[in-house]
Structures are given as C-alpha cells and as structure tokens.
C-alpha cells in the first residue's frame, strides 16, 4: 500500500485484521512506523517495497489524484515485472485510468482502477469497491477486495474493463452530490419555519427508521445535528473533489440530462462566494425596473443616508 493517509492507513489496518501481509510506504516515515506498529511490513522506498513483495506483486496506490498518482505509477514501472498489478484506489478520472492501463500493458503490467467509497468509516463498516480491469486479475485479487468490503458477497463488484471502476465511482459521487443537496435544502426550509421551533436533530433521528428517505447520509446528518444542533461551528463553504464536475461534463458529452446533479454542483460553487456579484446584479435589476428596495453594502459609508 502506497499512501497511508486517512483512507490508505485504515485500509491497511482492515487488511491486516483480515490476515493479509501488507508492505507499506509513505513519504512520511511516521506514517510507515505507525503501520508497522499495527503489523505491517514497512518500506523505506518504492524500490524497497517492490523487493519485499513476492511475484506476482499487487501494489495499491492510494495517493491524491492527478500528478501524485501519475508520478507514483511512473516510478513503479521500472521496479515491477510482467504479471504484476498496480491498483489505483484514488479518485482518478476514468480517462486517465484507461490511458494508464494501456501504457502499463506495454510493460506487461496489469492495471486495476478501484473506485473506493467509505471514507473514514471504512475501517469499521467496510468499503464499497467498484473495480475495473481484467476479469482474471480481479479473480486473483478477490480475497483482498473481499476483506476490504463490508462482507465477502457485499459491496464489491467487477464492473468492467479498465476505466469502468473510476467511471462508476464518478457517477456514484454525482448521485451523492444530489442526495446531500436535497437533505441540505429540506433541513434549511424546516430551520426557517421559526414559528414551529422544530428540533432538527429529533426529526433527522425520526426519519432514520421506516422513512423512504432513510440512508447512511441521513444517519450522518443526525450525528452532525446531535453534535452541533444549529451547525454554528461551521462555515457555509462546500468544496468538491472533482467527480461531480466530471459527472456533469459526461452528461453533457452524452447528451443525458442531469439537472439535479448539475444544480447541486453549482450550489457548491455558490457556497464559496462572499457577496456573489450575480446576486448583487439581481438586486440592481429589480431596483431598476420596479423600484424595489435594495440593501446597501456594509462597506458603503453613505449607505441608507439619502
């Protein structure tokens, strides 16, 4: 396992708990040492990692997508042999995965793109794995996937050739965007109904059982509201890791409408703006054509004096 961050480190522990021998490497010597204390075999370099694995090797890359993944895979090529496998469990673009699979095939090295969902809860709950690559390689490595999954027959699937795993994970995250946005809007409407003084935590807890909108995301919403009933400790700033954008772009390329996912992505963009210009323009237009009242900027020293 290369990359021992929140996901990689927990995956190592789950594999060790399942009886696998795991060789670990990370740029942080402290992270490698921590994995050794759990029972892993630590490596001081990629070369050292490759030497400590018996053939056919399986090297799982769990580093940030983009250039870090590209550089890691390129560095592994001269260290591995025909018949070895590189697995990418990060949030890579599926087109990059297809390209990497073709490139590695020229060296006789197999490539598996593993869309991995589960976050920080994966250690306990297991990970949902969406796996692309050769069927025979999947079958050889299936014991690894079965250990990482919630159960041997749950949460893991070989979804198609190289690239398919990250494609399915991309769509998975787009769906997640839409679900999260729907919950956010619903709870905001209830919070705004001041006359009822609704207990949002109690409502979330009630919805968790029997309701058609129950889900793990709702479980997490209930947990967040229990910790901070009014979410006062948070800023209304929502980042995105890229998969939502790729999903929307794919819907455009395929001419498949995806209005909910698209709008949920746009709402994330809006959350990062301070006094968005577009909203100011809306206010200005209403004032121009209808004389509707506008609120002057707090930075306008003359605001409200005329």
Q: Are 296 and 303 spatial neighbours (Cβ–Cβ below 8 Å)?
A: yes
Distances (CA, A) of 100 to 6, 66, 89, 133, 211: 25, 12, 13, 11, 44
Quickly count: other Cβ atoms within 10 Å of residue 272's Cβ: 13
Q: What is the spatial distance between Cα 140 and Cα 135, in angstroms, rounded to a whole number?
A: 9
Q: What is the spatial distance between Cα 16 and Cα 18, in angstroms, rounded to a whole number?
A: 5
Tokens of 228: 């901070």
Q: Are 62 and 31 spatial neighbours (Cβ–Cβ below 8 Å)?
A: no
Residue 291's SS3 state is coil
Question: Rg for the chain (alpha carbons), in Å?
Answer: 24
By annotation, the residues acting in catalysis are 169, 176
Q: What is the spatial distance between Cα 27 and Cα 32, in angstroms, rounded to a whole number?
A: 8
Pick the closest to residue 132 from 180, 178, 100 (CA basis): 100
Residue 2's SS3 state is strand
């Amino acid at each position: 396992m290369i990359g021992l961050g929140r996901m990689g480190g927990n995956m190592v522990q789950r594999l060790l708990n399942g009886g696998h021998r795991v060789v670990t490497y990370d740029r942080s010597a402290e992270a490698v040492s921590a994995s050794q204390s759990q029972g892993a075999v630590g490596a001081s370099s990629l070369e050292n990692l490759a030497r400590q694995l018996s053939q056919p090797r399986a090297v799982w890359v769990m580093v940030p997508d983009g250039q870090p993944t590209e550089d890691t895979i390129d560095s592994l090529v001269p260290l591995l042999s025909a018949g070895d496998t590189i697995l990418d469990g990060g949030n890579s673009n599926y087109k990059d995965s297809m390209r990497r699979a073709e490139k590695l095939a020229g060296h006789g090295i197999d490539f598996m793109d593993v869309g991995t969902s589960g976050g920080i809860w994966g250690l306990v709950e297991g990970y949902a794995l969406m796996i692309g690559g050769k069927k025979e390689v999947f079958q050889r490595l299936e014991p690894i996937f079965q250990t990482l999954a919630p159960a041997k027959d749950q949460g893991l699937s070989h979804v198609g050739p190289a690239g398919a795993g990250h494609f399915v994970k991309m769509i998975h995250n787009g769906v997640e965007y839409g679900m999260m946005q729907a919950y956010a809007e619903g709870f905001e409407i209830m919070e705004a109904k001041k006359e009822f003084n609704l207990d949002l935590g109690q409502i979330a807890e009630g919805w968790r059982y029997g309701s058609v909108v129950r889900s793990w995301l709702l479980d997490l919403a209930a947990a967040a509201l229990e910790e901070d009933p009014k979410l006062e400790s948070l800023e209304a700033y929502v980042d995105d890791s890229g998969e939502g954008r790729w999903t929307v772009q794919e819907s455009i390329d395929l001419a498949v409408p995806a209005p909910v996912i698209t709008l949920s992505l746009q709402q994330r963009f809006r959350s990062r703006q301070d006094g968005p210009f577009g909203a100011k323009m809306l206010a200005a237009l209403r004032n121009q054509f209808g004389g509707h009242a506008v609120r002057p900027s707090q930075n306008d020293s003359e605001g409200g004096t005329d």
